[in-house]
Amino acid sequence: MYIPNQGDIIYLTLNPQSGHEQSGRRPVLVISKHSFNEITKLAVICPITNTERKVPTHVGVKSSRGTTGFIMCEQVKSLDLKTRKPEYKDKVDNDTLFEVIDIVKGFIDLEPGKIEKENEHSDADEIAETDETE
């Protein structure tokens, strides 16, 4: 079974789908690392569309073999490689890969002040535990 590398553009079957998700057999960008893909037999991907919608979470494809379209970062998902039958098609350049990962990180990074709040909570828990044992 082919295990994709980070930055590969591969064809996968995206069915079943729901709502506004892309469907059918189509190109996707692999954003997970090869080691993750190999160990889990999953890949974290972003679908690619040919429709330009001028959405700030869409990134134009710049690839080595001329693949065109727009990477839909807002539709990031993890898919099973065994059942989706991946086929290598192309590879994006590093600038495109970094831009996509930066956008996805923006969705999941902690919000400002969140770390401090969690640390404050942890300190309070430790104090409570100390008080209970004394």
Taking the domains of the chain in order of start, what are their residue ranges? 8-109
Which residue has better confidence, 120 or 100?
100
Grade residue 62 by pLDDT with cuts at 50, 70 and 90.
confident
pTM beyond 0.85 = no
Average pLDDT score over residue span 1-18: 87
Read off φ and ψ for residue 132, nearest 5 degrees: -70, -35
Grade residue 120 by pLDDT with cuts at 50, 70 and 90.
low
Judge whether residue 7 has pLDDT over 70. yes
> How many CB atoms neighbour CB 90 within 10 A?
18
**CATH fold label, 8-109:** SH3 type barrels. (2.30.30)
pLDDT, position 21: 54
pLDDT, position 121: 54
> How many CB atoms neighbour CB 57 within 10 A?
18
pLDDT, position 91: 96
